[in-house]
Amino acid sequence: MNNNSQLRATPQELDKRPILIVPYMWVGDFVRGHSVVTLLRERFPDRPVDVLATTLCTPLADYMPGIRHAVVVDLPRGRIALSQQFALARRLRREDYGDVLILPRTWKSALAPFLAGIPRRTGFVGEARVLLVNDLRFGEWKLPRTIDRCAALALPKNAAPPAVWPLPVLTIPPSEVAAWQTKHGLSGNRPLVALAPGSVAPARRWPSASYAALSHRLLAEGCDVFVLGGPNEKTLAREIVGNTRARDLTGNDIRDAVLALAAAAAAVANDSGLLHVAAALGTPSIGIFGPMTAALWAPLNPLAAALEITSGLPCRPCNQNVCPLGHHRCLRDIGPDAVFAATRSALAARVTTPRALG
């Protein structure tokens, strides 16, 4: 940097202290937040970037290039939990952060950074956070997608956004994928297809009977099929696996799911966090969208296919977590044949253009 540019540099640009990101803690939104990491590393190459993470999301941070480390904390939902906020603030103060980007718009998410005395606290106005956030941003609701709102906070105030945001990336060492395959007795002779039938919202779940029909067809085609998800998806997994050789990999260990998606030749998922994980890994992914449109809610990374009902349903998109009319046609009308065809195409494309891991 020459002397003239130094004279024009802002204090933020000259600061060498670490930067903290307070992300959304849902899996999909956490993955989206990696675009923010990339923007900050491009803008401040000499400043380390850390991220706040729950125990659930911490394994994802391990695979995100550009993150120095995750500050692991599990704050309760639905209440302030002052004693835990003060304890977190003491931890943050020891790191001597110069900046924090607070992606959620809630009052609670800005409290610990304020108590820690982080000098510059950037975020949208949100819940009247005038005291907690001192680099206030406006116009949040004019930005159509979650990624647009999150990534805007990594830019200077009032800066025009780039034509495209940097894509989220999850990079898995090939040795970890190989060890996972050995652990599960996979020879690599059959393509692995990962199914993610869960979602935090019931209205976003393609029927388990449809997933079971898809699994049967994939098994008949000579694929290995793994069903992924959290412990709440155990019942769905049993319905899909039945007495076939498909395998249930649902449980508490998201790292196991990440490695399965990294090893998979294709993934089929609802509009859910694991769809974002698969897309960020570069695994050919088929996303199934019901009440939400793919244009607004699909991963930033390209999908092999985004399946949705685009006409004939005046109630769609309703953007509801539970179907207001009770018929769930936006998902029920997407048949297993369409999803199987999209998966088969993704598998065929992958054979001709193999994907490199990490």
Read off the pLDDT of residues 263-277 as tens digits, 9 standing for 90 and up: 999 999 999 999 999
What confidence score (pLDDT) does residue 200 get? 87
The closest alpha carbon to 164, from 182, 151, 180, belongs to 151
What confidence score (pLDDT) does residue 188 get? 76
174-352: CATH superfamily? Glycogen Phosphorylase B; (3.40.50.2000)
The closest alpha carbon to 50, from 143, 6, 113, 107, belongs to 113
What confidence score (pLDDT) does residue 128 get? 85
What confidence score (pLDDT) does residue 187 get? 78
What confidence score (pLDDT) does residue 264 get? 97
What confidence score (pLDDT) does residue 6 get? 39
Report the distance separating Cα 114 and Cα 355, nearest Å.
44
What confidence score (pLDDT) does residue 14 get? 64
Question: Tens digit of pLDDT per residue, the chain (358 long)?
Answer: 344 443 444 666 668 999 999 999 999 999 999 999 999 999 999 999 999 999 999 999 999 999 999 999 999 988 889 999 999 999 999 999 999 999 999 999 999 999 999 999 999 998 889 899 999 999 998 999 999 999 999 999 989 999 999 999 999 999 999 999 999 999 778 999 999 999 989 999 999 999 999 999 999 999 999 999 999 999 999 999 999 999 999 998 999 999 999 999 999 999 999 999 999 999 999 999 999 999 999 999 999 999 999 988 999 999 999 999 999 999 999 999 999 999 999 999 876 544 544 4
Residue range 120-177, pLDDT digits in tens: 999 999 888 989 999 999 999 899 999 999 999 999 998 999 999 999 999 999 999 9
What confidence score (pLDDT) does residue 38 get? 98
Task: Give the residue carrying structure tokens 């401040």.
Answer: 44
Torsion of CA 27, 28, 31, 32, to 10 degrees: -140
Task: Give the residue carrying structure tokens 């990962």.
Answer: 194
3-152: CATH superfamily? Glycogen Phosphorylase B; (3.40.50.2000)
Amino acid at 330: C
Report the distance separating Cα 86 and Cα 12, nearest Å.
26
3-152 and 174-352 agree in CATH topology: yes
What confidence score (pLDDT) does residue 66 get? 98
Task: Give the residue carrying structure tokens 């982080």.
Answer: 118
Residue 210 backbone dihedrals phi, psi, to 5 degrees: -70, -40
Report the distance separating Cα 82 and Cα 95, nearest Å.
20
Instruction: Let me know: does 199 contact 205? Beta carbons within 8 Å.
Output: yes
What confidence score (pLDDT) does residue 126 get? 83
Burial of 208 per CB tally in 10 Å (0-12, 13-18, 19+):
middle
What confidence score (pLDDT) does residue 358 get? 46
Kindly write down the DSSP assignment for every residue of 92-123, as one continuous string: HHHHT-SEEEE-S--TGGGHHHHHTT-SEEEE
Tokens of 143: 């930005």
Extents of the domains making up the chain = 3-152, 174-352
Tokens of 305: 């296919």
